Amino acid sequence: MKPVGILALQGDFAEHGAAMRAHGIPVRELRVPADLEGLSGLILPGGESSTMLKLLRIQGLQVPMQALLESGLPVLATCAGLILLAREVIEPSQESFGLLDIKVCRNGYGRQICSGTFELSGELPAGTRAVFIRAPRVLEHGPEVEILARRDGDPVLLRRGPILAACFHPELEENHPVTAMFVAMLRARAESESPQEPGAHQAEMA
Amino acid sequence: MTTHSPEIPGFTAEEVRSKIGFCEQLKGGVIMDVTDAEQAAIAQEAGAAAVMALERVPSDIRKDGGVARASDPEMIQAIQEQVSIPVMAKVRIGHFVEAQLLEALEVDCIDESEVLTPADEQFHVAKRGFKTPFVCGCRDLGEALRRIHEGAAMIRTKGEAGTGNVVEAVRHMRAVSSGIAALRGMDERSREKQATEYRVPVELLTWVAESQRLPVPNFSAGGVATPADAALMMQLGAESVFVGSGIFKSSDPARMARAIVRAVTNFQDPKELAEISKGLGKAMPGLDVGSLPEDQLLARRGI
């Protein structure tokens, strides 16, 4: 399988790498445009979205990344990553890739003192919890955006086509169901792309 | 480099996720000392991952002398209103009331810092009682583990703040790394002896011996003055860099700030680092650490 690319400008990209490798998925850290070739998927990690935006521009990644995000590859975006994908960002308003039809408020649950672990409801195993850190709050979403999980009524796990976006951090926990969900998306995509791969996979299993 | 397993001796699973998890988000970023809202805006615009609010940068504290205390709440709030990135602030070593005050102000992280005048010569703040994550300085593995045992969610080298001289930060980072390496393959009795010497529980020491890293993010601070200094600390194993006087005591702070942010992301790319380092103007004036009288060495405080 081709590596999944993890935006490694700033933030918890190493934790995403460890979470993918634990599922046997190869990873590549993305810092310059040449790193974007031949990927099976993309991860936009947690961190400071305003810092990442500046570095995306400085590193010449903004334009090629936009094209890659629009190409239909599976994408996992967590926390700051979700902010980078939103159609509209407030408090303060800032630029974004605009691929996910949501309006999002930065630090919408408050400062670090409001961070913590909360129970989710929705299409995840009962009792699934997740850690929210200075998390963004989704205020509005378009009709094409599926809501997969909520925290006290707020949408916090969203999907639109190949894009999976979370306000929280599955990468900070071992075996979080959202990580498994993204791994399944990566494998399904890899298998549909190369007809040989399912056979190879079976041979490996035998 | 690995997903933190929720079992770190002395920490609850909730603390690992929300306190240490917060510190993970700062990795690969630059935390900049600022003394007012205007500097905070410059730091954020340059791409800082967080700002540290303090009354005087370390080089001025050094020059002015006197007792250095936690900052005026009004100044901290002005900075909080100015920027959307996390705002940290410093308390004196052992001054748990200054820490209570900063928690009441909802700062995102508290630095229990040797740069301020220590308030307690015997004890550090009992950091577990706070919901706010703490960062503490260290000179070696023993100090790092004592602070983690007290509840620090992030460790930084002390370096020698306000000198613009990276030599002490390098010394401290190497001491932490070699301290961790020395634990490799140590038998149980030797670990117990080492834990007694470090004055930490053997379970914490064993965790580090087996994982071969600290259980919390390991950042660098104290004397970083140029993009090359920042990249040096990253290549030596720091996961992020605090820059104090290095930015706002340089001749072109906005430019120096942008350059250091780029250097931390591109720390493994010498060509890029050469490009970044061009035409930055004057770095902060430096001090030879060897020429400082012993009572002016900040790193000796709170060990």
Exposed, middle or buried by CB within 10 Å (0-12, 13-18, 19+), for B286?
middle
Cα separation, A184 vs B23, whole angstroms:
29
Report the residue of A6, A7, A9, A10 to disrupt the B interface, i.e. the one with the largest count of B CBs within 10 Å.
A10
Predicted local confidence at residue B290, as pLDDT = 84
Predicted local confidence at residue B289, as pLDDT = 84
Residue among A14, A19, A50 minimizing CB distance to B84: A50
Cα separation, B102 vs B222, whole angstroms:
22
| A18 shares contact with chain B (CB less than 8 Å) | yes
| A110 shares contact with chain B (CB less than 8 Å) | yes
* Cβ pair A174:B6 closer than 8 A: yes
In a domain? residue A205: no
* Cβ pair A115:B1 closer than 8 A: no
In a domain? residue A204: no
Q: Which residues of A touch B261 (CB under 8 A)?
A: 51, 54-55
Cα separation, B116 vs A127, whole angstroms:
45
Cα separation, B83 vs A94, whole angstroms:
13
In a domain? residue A201: no
Chain B closest CA to A199's CA: distance in Å?
A: 32
Q: Which of A16, A141, A167, A169 is catalytic?
A: A169
CA terminus-to-terminus distance, chain A? 18
Predicted local confidence at residue B5, as pLDDT = 55
Per-residue pLDDT of chain B (303 residues; tens, 9 = 90+): 444 455 899 999 999 999 999 999 999 999 999 999 999 999 999 999 999 999 888 888 888 888 999 999 999 999 999 999 999 999 999 999 999 999 999 999 999 999 999 999 999 999 999 999 999 999 999 999 999 999 999 999 999 998 999 999 999 999 999 999 999 999 999 999 999 999 999 999 999 999 999 999 999 999 999 999 999 999 999 999 999 889 999 999 999 999 999 999 999 999 999 999 999 988 888 888 888 888 888 988 998
Domain containing A17 — which CATH number? 3.40.50.880
Residue among B2, B3, B84 minimizing CB distance to A107: B84
Residue B158 falls in the annotated catalytic set: no
What would the pLDDT profile of A81-128 be if each residue is shown by its tens digit? 999 999 999 999 999 999 999 999 999 999 999 999 999 999 999 999
Chain B closest CA to A176's CA: distance in Å?
A: 11
| A6 shares contact with chain B (CB less than 8 Å) | no
Q: Tell me which H or E stretch contains B34.
A: strand B30-34
Q: Domain range for residue A18? A: 4-195
The total domain count for chain A is: 1
In a domain? residue A203: no
Phi, psi of B153 (to 5 degrees): -100, -5
Residue among A79, A92, A117 minimizing CB distance to B84: A92
Report the residue of A133, A134, A168, A175 to disrupt the B interface, i.e. the one with the largest count of B CBs within 10 Å.
A133
Q: Which residues of B touch A18 (CB under 8 A)?
A: 1-3
Q: Whole-model pTM?
A: 0.94
In a domain? residue A144: yes
In a domain? residue A152: yes
Of A197, A174, A78, the C-alpha closest to A134 is A78
Q: Give chain A's mean pLDDT.
A: 94
| A79 shares contact with chain B (CB less than 8 Å) | yes
* Cβ pair A113:B49 closer than 8 A: no
In a domain? residue A206: no
Instruction: Tell me the ipTM for this assembly.
Output: 0.93
| A19 shares contact with chain B (CB less than 8 Å) | yes
Strands A100-105, A86-90: pairing kind: parallel
Lowest mean pLDDT among A48-52, A190-194, B180-184, B262-266: A190-194
Chain B closest CA to A200's CA: distance in Å?
A: 29
Local structure of A122: helix, strand or coil: strand
Q: Which of B19, B90, B127, B158 is catalytic?
A: B90
Classify the C-alpha dihedral B72-B78-B83-B86 as positive or negative.
positive
Cα separation, A67 vs A47, whole angstroms:
22
